[in-house]
Structure 1
Amino acid sequence: MKPFCFADGKIIATEAAALHPSDLGLIRGYGIFDFFRTVNYQPLFLEDYLDRFIRSAERTYIPLAYNREELRTIIHQLIQKNDLKEGGIRMVLSGGISENHFSPGEGKLFIFAESLSFPSEDKYQNGIKLLSLEYVRPVAEIKTTNYALAVWHSAGWKKQGAEDVLYYQGSYISESSRSNFFIVKNGQLITPDSNILLGITRKNVIELAGGAQIRPVTFQEIRDADEAFITSTTKVILPVTQIDDLKIGTGKPGPVTLGLLERFRAMVSQNTSVNS
């Protein structure tokens, strides 16, 4: 964490930020968050993230005491206060203190500035392995703070040489624990349409590629895929070359994935080349 955060209605020392022990964010794991990058002091895709954060607050019935303009102002102030040229901003809205310890109350807003690290370049060049896991995140379309299963399950990932998991239900796959999932077949991008978070990087990758088939995706299609990759704020476009014991395509990152990664990085560099 960087030295300063937003809490209790003002920018304070991060170490002074506190949550009431009866807050639903603690006792029920109920809250929302969002996370985005800063590049050259500019918050990347900020309006998209604000859209999702405000919508998530509404859909989880947690009061958010700040409007879009106020959130935008706080974020820019925090970036400057922390000299956050390249890093991450995490917005968290807790479930609040509830009279019955169950119903959402008035949420408490925290905004933190953080250092940011990406996967090693070796993973972009050679790809990663995912482990399949039958699971659907509760209210998957909302970025809640409930990552209990993934955190618990992650204790065994490294032993199996895996980076993350790939969730599925029945014959259909959905998403990774913190990323969206794509396959490539005959040059066409295909990505699941349900039981997923509508990722901001996902959205921009689809636009950059000129479209994608957004529909149910089966395990059989993964077996027949030419390429696969995941997308997220912290992973950008990360090639997937193996799921469980199944190698994807040639077992190496493919030209479509690597081409999109190069174009995405160029787009970010071009759009943030002038200081805000």
Structure 2
Amino acid sequence: MKSFCFANEKIIASDQATLHPMDIGLIRGYGIFDFFRTAHYVPMFLNDYLDRFISSAEKTHLSLHLSKEQLAQIIKELIEKNNLEFGGIRMVLTGGVSENHFSPVDGSLFIFCEDLDFPSPSKYEKGIKLLSVEHIRAIADIKTTNYAFPVWHSATWKREGADDVLYHLNGQISESSRSNIFVIKDGNIATPDQHILHGITRKRVLELVQQTSIRPISLKEVLDADEVFITSTTKKILPVTQIDNYKIGTGLPGDLTKKLIENFSEIEKKQYQAV
């Protein structure tokens, strides 16, 4: 964590930030967050992330007393004070200290800066392995702080030599624990439409490939795909070349995936060069 954060309704030293131990964000796991990156001191796709954070607060009945413009100004100040040329910014809004220790009330807003490491270059060159697991994330369209299942299950997928999981239920896939997923077959790109978080990187890919089919996708269809990739803030576009013991396509990142990685890089450049 960097030296300065927003907590207690002001910018303070990060080591002075506190949370009441009875906050339902802690004792019930009830809260929301969002996370985005900076590049050359520019918060990437900030409007999209702030819109999603504000929407998550509304959907979870959490009070957010700052406007979008005020949040953006705080973030700008934190980037400057932390000299955050390249890094991550995390926003967290807790459920608050409730009389019945259950119902959400006015919570605490935290915004803090982090160092950020991307997957190693070899994972973009060779692709990664996912481990399929039967699960659907609760209220998946909201970016809640409840990651208990994947955190608990991560020991299993690491033991199996996987980098993450692929959620599926009743034969239909949804997403990875922290990423959206896309499949490519015969040059056609598709991505699931249900039980997913509407990721910001996913949104960029849909802009790049406007003919993407957004629909239910079976696990069998994924295993039979020519190419598979996942998208997220911290992974950008990352090829998947194995699911369980099944090789995807040739077992190496495909040409369309590699082209999308290049195109996404160009979108990012336009973001920070425009400032």
TM-score range, shorter-chain basis? over 0.9
Name 2:164's counterpart in structure 1.
Answer: 164
CA contact (8 A) 2:25 2:31 kept: yes
The letter of the residue matching 2:67 is: N
Name 1:74's counterpart in structure 2.
Answer: 74
Query: Are positions 1:106 and 2:102 aligned together?
Result: no
Distance in structure 2 (CA, Å) of the matches to 1:199 and 1:211 = 18
The letter of the residue matching 2:8 is: D
Task: For residue 156 of structure 1, report the CA deviation from its aligned partner.
Answer: 2.4
Unaligned 5+ segments in structure 2 are: none
How big is the alpha-carbon RMSD for the aligned residues of Structure 1 and Structure 2?
0.9
CA contact (8 A) 2:45 2:271 kept: no
Name 2:90's counterpart in structure 1.
Answer: 90
Name 1:254's counterpart in structure 2.
Answer: 254
**TM-score, reference length from structure 2:** 0.98
Name 1:265's counterpart in structure 2.
Answer: 265
CA contact (8 A) 2:34 2:92 kept: yes
Name 1:132's counterpart in structure 2.
Answer: 132
Equivalence map 1:163-182=2 (5 Å):
163-182=163-182
Distance in structure 1 (CA, Å) of the matches to 2:189 and 2:16 = 46
Name 2:152's counterpart in structure 1.
Answer: 152
Q: Secondary structure at the match of 1:117?
A: coil
Distance in structure 2 (CA, Å) of the matches to 1:217 and 1:126 = 24
The percent of aligned pairs where both chains have the same amino acid is 61
Name 1:118's counterpart in structure 2.
Answer: 118
**TM-score, reference length from structure 1:** 0.98
Q: Which runs of 4+ in 1 moved over 3 A?
A: none
Distance in structure 2 (CA, Å) of the matches to 1:99 and 1:121 = 49
Q: Secondary structure at the match of 1:150?
A: helix
Query: Are positions 1:61 and 2:61 aligned together?
Result: yes
Distance in structure 1 (CA, Å) of the matches to 2:248 and 2:270 = 32
Q: Secondary structure at the match of 2:273?
A: coil
CA contact (8 A) 2:226 2:254 kept: yes
Distance in structure 1 (CA, Å) of the matches to 2:222 and 2:88 = 32
Distance in structure 2 (CA, Å) of the matches to 1:30 and 1:203 = 26
Name 1:222's counterpart in structure 2.
Answer: 222
Distance in structure 2 (CA, Å) of the matches to 1:85 and 1:211 = 35
Task: For residue 158 of structure 1, report the CA deviation from its aligned partner.
Answer: 2.2
CA offsets 1:137-164 (integer angstroms, 9 cap, x no match) = 1100000000001001111222211000
Q: Secondary structure at the match of 1:96?
A: coil
Distance in structure 2 (CA, Å) of the matches to 1:97 and 1:243 = 42
Task: For residue 186 of structure 1, report the CA deviation from its aligned partner.
Answer: 1.4
The letter of the residue matching 2:77 is: Q
